[in-house]
Amino acid sequence: MPSERSHTYAAVDLGSNSFHLLVARREHGELRVIDRIKEMIRLGGGLDEEGRLDPAVQQRAFTCLARFGQRLRDIPTNNLRAVGTQTFRRMNHANAFLLVAETALGCSIDVIAGREEARLVFLGVSQGVSGPDERRLVIDIGGGSTELIIGDGLDPIEMESLQYGCVSLTRQFFKEGKITRKRFKRAVRSVRADLQELQLRYRRKGWDSAIGSSGSVKAIAEICRLQSWVEKDLTIDALYFLRDKLVSFGSIDAVDLPGLSERRHPVLVGGLVMLVACFKTLHIESMKVSPYALREGVLHDLLGRLDKRDPRDKTVAAFMSRYGVDRAQVDRVKRVALKTWDKLAGSMVLHPTYRELLAWAAQLHETGLSVSHSRYQAHSGYLVENSDMAGFSQQEQWFLAALVRYHRRGLTPDFAGQLPARMVQPLRMTLFCLRFACILCRTRDDSSLPPFKFSGTDNMITVNFPDDWKAGHPLTMADLEHESHALQAVDLQFQVIQLEPEDD
């Protein structure tokens, strides 16, 4: 039924070790899970040091995504979100992989930064915590990275992402599958060296309870329980017992333990290394195990966006405050940019997602003035591209950075940078809206803003202003004439025509 479809949502978590699909239905304001699919792809294990993906692993990923795509087919696109994590961040020529992957899945894939992954993990784990909003330390051990978050209630206050995971640690320290005490100690020592940077900061913040998530933590907890090393929560003693047991087997292939699945078997030792290092460095006494993780966080974050509780609004507001933007001016540019977008939308197909990005770019385009007025657009682009921006995917952040970097002055044919092909045309049109608004708002005076009329196609845009306004604003007309030449660099024709304007 259509109404049932509109209340069905799905999250896809494309991790370095496994791919997860979670489907839920919203009933009485709450989510009820109706389907879960998990497949071990070991994407991280197929990536070499140069970021090249093994063809067999690549095909395994595409085949899995096609199966996921069949399950997602009847769910509205706006109710879907797929995210890629550490391996996607390390992959060379990721856009070529994403082009096929998104086609197989039937929706776009957001590559997220490590701290954004941490935020979503904390949100997901927090959904399963009942009782008072105590302070929590959450540790999520993935295939290629490990996220450590301290937070109160649903709000993270410290987030870090370490470039170690169960797959990468196993590959780096247990080559040929050999498990020895010496190798284990060397691996733990290496991880602890990276943890030193956050050790004091995290311990000063403190926490009331520690929670572990991910397949590695759940597998380790289940093995320890079945061995009667713990009753419920994990302890460092139980982890040492498991370490000694693994060392006694001598090799990964020889490991045979109750509760250890065939899928988790090849990377268990790497996950244990990470957990031991965290327990020792942060002085963790015991750890609860959560059944929730990134995919639940993605799903709840998606619902927040649909319910107008978008974390990206908060991020942009904080960014504006940090860099002291002229709020009257950015609001003026935003109004004109969105008005331009809305007028063009009547003659083109423009996805509303990019209207949101345009609004945020208008609010951020002058952040570089806090660095220098000279070439401030380049400084704005750098700040947006290289800052931690909660809620934004890597592609969204690149899109925003391109908008603010090129909102004035010259354009180059490589204006789209690393963006996937599907985002190039939206960037071209969105960039036009922002540049046009900045030209009209150059005087920083509302009284100078004219009514205007647009017509356009994907490669040609025309605009008309009242004749008396044009005569009184020769500087703006000169800027628009220059703009018509600048836009040719991105294959966009633009001109001011002589027609009667519409009433505004």
Span 283-306, pLDDT tens digits: 999 999 999 999 999 999 999 988
CATH homologous superfamily for 310-496? Hypothetical protein af1432 (1.10.3210.10)
Predicted pLDDT at 46: 93
CATH of domain 115-294: 3.30.420.150
Which regions of the chain carry the CATH code 3.30.420.150? 115-294
Q: CA–CA separation, 24 vs 98, rounded Å?
A: 25
The answer, yes or no, to whether residue 485 has pLDDT greater than 50, is yes
Q: What's the number of CA atoms in the CB half-sphere (13 Å) around residue 279? A: 21
Which regions of the chain carry the CATH code 1.10.3210.10? 310-496
Which two structure tokens, joined as six digits, stand for 151?
């937070």
Which regions of the chain carry the CATH code 3.30.420.40? 2-111
Calculate mean pLDDT across residues 9-15: 96
Which two structure tokens, joined as six digits, stand for 342?
């809305």
Predicted pLDDT at 419: 93
Per the listing, tokens 């009331």 go with 208
Q: CA–CA separation, 323 vs 345, rounded Å?
A: 32
Please report which residue ranges of 139-180 form alpha helices under DSSP H: 166-173
The answer, yes or no, to whether residue 117 has pLDDT greater than 80, is yes
Percent of the residues in the chain that have a pLDDT greater than 70, as a whole number: 97
Predicted pLDDT at 1: 41
Q: CA–CA separation, 459 vs 424, rounded Å?
A: 13
Closest to 436 (Cα-Cα) out of 423, 412, 453, 413: 453
Residue 333 CA, chain-centre distance (Å), reads: 27
Residue 232 CA, chain-centre distance (Å), reads: 33
**Those residues with Cβ within 8 angstroms of residue 493's Cβ, 6 or more apart along the chain or in another chain:** 459, 460, 461, 484, 487
Predicted pLDDT at 320: 96
Predicted pLDDT at 53: 95
Please say whether the structural domain 2-111 has been given the CATH code 3.30.420.40: yes
